[in-house]
Amino acid sequence: MAKVKVYLTAADANRQLYPEVERVSSPYPTTIVLTSLPDGLAIRCGGDYAIDSEIIQSLVTRVEHILLGVFDERSMMVWSRS
């Protein structure tokens, strides 16, 4: 089992919440992964979850963007799926 912290779902997303997501995302370096789950799978927003490998694999294969804090957290480096 892996541990994943879910901060925001697509239904809850908006620009005003981004600073809070960034603040609580992880210790240095900040790491934010934007991904999705297939239809039928859902996890609620907030909290730590022990998630089985099938859901982890779904999250990994559906990653769209990864944001990493760089230059002492003054900037973000962004990787996007092409």
Going from N- to C-terminal start, the domains of the chain cover 2-80
82 vs 79, more confident: 79
Using a cut of 0.85, tell me whether the model's pTM lies above it.
no
Which pLDDT band, with edges at 50, 70 and 90, does 69 fall under? Answer: confident
Peptide bond into 29 cis (omega under 30): yes
With a cut of 80, say whether residue 14 has pLDDT above it.
no
Query: Torsion angle of alpha carbons 20, 22, 28, 30, nearest 10°?
Result: 160
Kindly report which listed range (14-18, 43-47, 68-72, 75-79) carries the lowest average pLDDT score. 43-47
With a cut of 90, say whether residue 9 has pLDDT above it.
no
Tell me: the pLDDT tens digits for 26-65? 677 888 888 888 888 777 666 666 777 888 888 889 999 9
Could you tell me if residue 75 is left (phi over 0), alpha (psi between -120 and 50 degrees) or otherwise beta?
beta
